[in-house]
């Protein structure tokens, strides 16, 4: 049983590291890309991020589901809260962040870029909270 909690912590930790890298390095540095190359940069960014997420996101989603099913010694509020954060992260990604990137794909817009960097703090904090929840869950089952 602890194996699922360890795997969940590992997968969530990878996603936490990923989002902090995006928030502190990738998004802020977008403003340094020359205007005549920004559309190409954004297209490459989107393609590479999607490829990377296709490898690591399913691990978090699958292990979160498994943990929710077997988490009898974990408070329900913790598993439901962590699951709700995961749903909110991915719904907001599809509904807000992906379309924002789509708009940036036509060229750099300082207002859109600022909106992306500022709003992404919500995903960064949500994933960080998920990391804390994963640590707490593992601690409760060991």
For the chain, domain boundaries: 2-141
Which contacts (CB < 8 Å, 24+ apart) does range 30-39 have?
A: 30/104, 30/108, 30/113, 30/116, 31/108, 31/110, 31/113, 33/108, 35/107, 35/108, 38/104, 38/107, 38/108, 39/105, 39/106, 39/107
Contact by Cβ (8 Å): 6, 138? yes
Mean pLDDT (whole number) for 65-76: 93
**pLDDT of 49 above 80:** yes
Mean pLDDT (whole number) for 125-141: 97
Q: pLDDT-based confidence at 36, cuts 50/70/90?
A: very high
CA distances, 94 to each of 50, 51, 74, 100, 117 (Å)? 12, 15, 30, 10, 16
Q: pLDDT-based confidence at 96, cuts 50/70/90?
A: very high
**What pLDDT, on the 0 to 100 scale, is given for residue 71?**
85
**What pLDDT, on the 0 to 100 scale, is given for residue 19?**
98
**pLDDT of 119 above 90:** yes
**pLDDT of 1 above 80:** no
Secondary structure (3-state) at 53: helix
**pLDDT of 122 above 90:** yes
């Amino acid at each position: 049983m602890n194996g699922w909690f360890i795997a969940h912590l590992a997968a969530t930790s990878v996603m936490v590291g990923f989002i902090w890298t995006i928030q502190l390095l990738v998004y802020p540095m977008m403003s340094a890309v020359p205007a005549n190359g920004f559309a190409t940069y954004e297209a490459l960014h989107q393609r590479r991020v999607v490829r990377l997420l296709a490898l690591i996101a399913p691990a978090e989603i699958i292990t979160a589901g498994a943990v929710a099913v077997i988490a009898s010694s974990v408070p329900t509020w913790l598993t439901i809260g962590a699951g709700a954060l995961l749903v909110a992260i991915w719904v907001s990604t599809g509904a807000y962040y992906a379309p924002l990137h789509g708009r940036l794909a036509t060229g750099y817009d300082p207002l859109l870029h600022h909106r992306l960097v500022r709003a992404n703090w919500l995903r960064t904090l949500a994933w960080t909270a998920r990391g804390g929840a994963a640590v707490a869950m593992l601690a409760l089952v060991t």
